[in-house]
Structure 1
Amino acid sequence: MAWCAYQAYKNTTCKLAEEIFSLIGLSTPEKISLNKLTRQRERALKKEGKWINPDDKTGEKYPSDKFMYDTEYWFFY
């Protein structure tokens, strides 16, 4: 049952993600590494002095999602 649900879900999700990445100007959405993009963006923010540590609870809050109480996933804006 779960496998069938995943099979129906994955194509729609991948297609939607590719369309979103195309809209924000990423040329080849099927070859995008979100980990690499995140690292590059974090480095740029650190160089500009705009980096906010996600563990710092006193600063500005960003939307995120906690999974399994130990991993934090950030949304790309």
Structure 2
Amino acid sequence: MVMEISNIFDGLTTKVWDPSNRGKYFIREDGCKPTAIDCSLGLDIVREDGLMATLTLEKGHVGFYTWHQRFPEIPKNAVIL
């Protein structure tokens, strides 16, 4: 079964990445080294209170990243994905 991002998120109000609204990389710090995840191809949704999240689809995996900091600093030791 082939999944397409447009079908997965049908019914949600989404926007493509706008570099003036958030950074390209989401920083995840749950391991030994921080990970910078490229979210530039994801779709953004914004809650009524302004909190933004990005939905991604890659190789059949759906990602959901909540931006508490829209422009995070990328740590020098981060693994870039």
TM interval, short-chain normalised = under 0.3
Q: Larger Rg: 1 or 2?
A: 1
Q: Which has the higher helix share?
A: 1
TM-score by length of 2: 0.21
TM-score by length of 1: 0.22
Higher RCO (C-alpha 8 Å, min separation 6)? 2
Q: Which has the higher strand share?
A: 2
